[in-house]
Amino acid sequence: MNSHTTDVCVAGGGPAGLCLALCLARAGHQVTVLEQSPRFDRTFRGESMSPDGVWLLDQLGVLDTIVERGALKIERLEIAEGGKVVMHSEFSEWDYAQRYPMEIPQPTLLSVLAESSAEHSGFDLRTGAKVTELIDEDGTVAGVRYRGADGEPHEVRAALVVGSDGRYSKIRDLSGLEFEKTMLDRDVVWLRVPRPEGWERGIYRIRLSGSRHGLFIPTYPDDIRVGFNIPKGGLKELRAGGIEALHARMDEIAPELTPTLRQHVTSWSGTTVLDIFTVLTPRWSRPGLVLIGDAAHTLTPILGQGVNHALIDGHTLAGLLDPALDATGARRAELVQTAVLRFQAERESRIRISRQLQLRQERAFTFEHTLAVAARSTLYRVLGSSRFLQKKMLATAYFQLQPELAT
């Protein structure tokens, strides 16, 4: 079996893993990233970047390259109930260095992070690498074994294994760490269509109609990514009605999309379904291993929090690990373990705030009773008329990281 030794082995080349790898490689450490997919051609995956995420990409020195390759600035959030706008928020009014969300195709984000990491000699990206087991030595994780793109078994030994392999994390399953998976009441059907005539670019649109809702997200270069809710496990019933059932569902919440939808979505092959659940992992680490991003704390799609917390996780963990990895022997192992425990302590409260906000919105979006729907509309109208209340709600999702500018 081919064996390789590194400082940190990162299982999963998504936003969390590559952000961590870039920061550590820049600091002079050896990092091996194992990514199961052979390419970064991911669709319907984490394209929404909050202002904090944009700010962090700028701090990492990669934002200009990303924008050059194609990204879309978002200027407004708009919520409509029964065809009438009940709330809107203008991001130009926020007092932060980076105040606008961006839509960044994930292949662009991952490619730029990987290329920037590759400028440093300590970075080693291995694609087509499927982790099969953890190397456990007397209760401490000492590395991983994986099957490479060549079909042969390999192993990587490291001072720390980082599980950054997403919401269906293999590393989490192998780790023995306890976790609680909570299925929510809905799934989301995603599809993509060209931006319809008359729709301005750069607006997040949420459409509500009773217990049904749709998310309409501008997507680079000039498309709309559409997500609409169905009951948990309800895809089979919806598909039984043919593609016309999908068209009819969309007619209820966005009738102006009718011509575009029927022209461009002619079969179910043009859709994908996201199974909505959250994961709580009480302890994110054990000796020699830590989970980050969705592997540690799976969130829902509301307000696009997953990719942003993934980037912040990677950046935060790198800063804590940097001095620990400079040590040697038993002292190094001790300092690495202290670093990963501090990492959870620093990040856990922020994740909890985002999760609570998301779950409140999830419940509100599925109201069916007339009085509950009316109360929801009233709440959004109140929010729409008060910049203070908007700030209180949205700042917890979009501005946890940046310092507010003096006014």
pLDDT tens per residue across span 228-281 = 988 888 899 999 999 999 999 889 899 989 899 999 999 999 899 988 899 999
Q: Is the dihedral of CA 38, 41, 45, 47 positive or negative?
A: positive
| Residue 402 located in a structural domain | no
* pLDDT surpasses 60 at 407: no
Per-residue pLDDT band for 153 (boundaries 50, 70, 90) equals: very high
* pLDDT surpasses 60 at 81: yes
| Residue 290 located in a structural domain | yes
- Average pLDDT of the segment spanning 306-315: 94
| Residue 269 located in a structural domain | no
* pLDDT surpasses 60 at 44: no
* Whole-angstrom distance, CA of residue 8 vs CA of residue 322: 11
Exposure string for 80-100, b = 16+ CB within 10 A, e = fewer: bbeeeebbbbebeebebebbb
| DSSP letters for 72-139 | EE--EEEEEETTEEEEEEEGGGS-BSS---EE--HHHHHHHHHHHHTTSTTEEEEES-EEEEEEEETT
Per-residue pLDDT band for 19 (boundaries 50, 70, 90) equals: very high
Number of domains in the chain: 1
pLDDT value at residue 213? 87
| Residue 137 located in a structural domain | yes
Q: Which residue, 192, 229, 22, is CA-closest to 118?
A: 22
pLDDT tens per residue across span 352-402 = 988 888 888 777 777 777 888 788 888 888 888 888 888 777 777 788 888
Per-residue pLDDT band for 186 (boundaries 50, 70, 90) equals: confident
pLDDT value at residue 332? 96
- Average pLDDT of the segment spanning 185-201: 90
Per-residue pLDDT band for 110 (boundaries 50, 70, 90) equals: very high
| Residue 125 located in a structural domain | yes
Q: By mean pLDDT, which of 116-125, 196-205, 310-319 is the weakest?
A: 196-205
354: Cβ contacts below 8 Å, ≥ 6 apart: 299, 303, 305, 309, 396, 397, 400
Angle between helices 370-385 and 387-398 (to 10 degrees): 100
pLDDT value at residue 47? 87
pLDDT tens per residue across span 283-302 = 999 999 999 999 999 988 77
* Whole-angstrom distance, CA of residue 231 vs CA of residue 217: 21
- Average pLDDT of the segment spanning 157-173: 97
| Residue 15 located in a structural domain | yes
| Residue 222 located in a structural domain | no
- Average pLDDT of the segment spanning 341-346: 98
* pLDDT surpasses 80 at 46: no
Look at 82 and 28; give whichever has higher pLDDT.
28
User: What CATH number does the domain containing 140 carry?
Assistant: 3.50.50.60
Look at 38 and 303; give whichever has higher pLDDT.
38
pLDDT value at residue 74? 96
* pLDDT surpasses 60 at 28: yes
pLDDT tens per residue across span 318-342 = 999 999 999 999 999 999 999 999 9
Name the range with the highest mean pLDDT among 38-42, 148-152, 355-359: 148-152
Q: By mean pLDDT, which of 20-24, 167-171, 342-346, 391-395 is the weakest?
A: 391-395
- pTM comes to 0.94
pLDDT value at residue 375? 85
pLDDT value at residue 45? 60
Enclosing domain of residue 317: 2-45+107-181+281-365
| Residue 11 located in a structural domain | yes
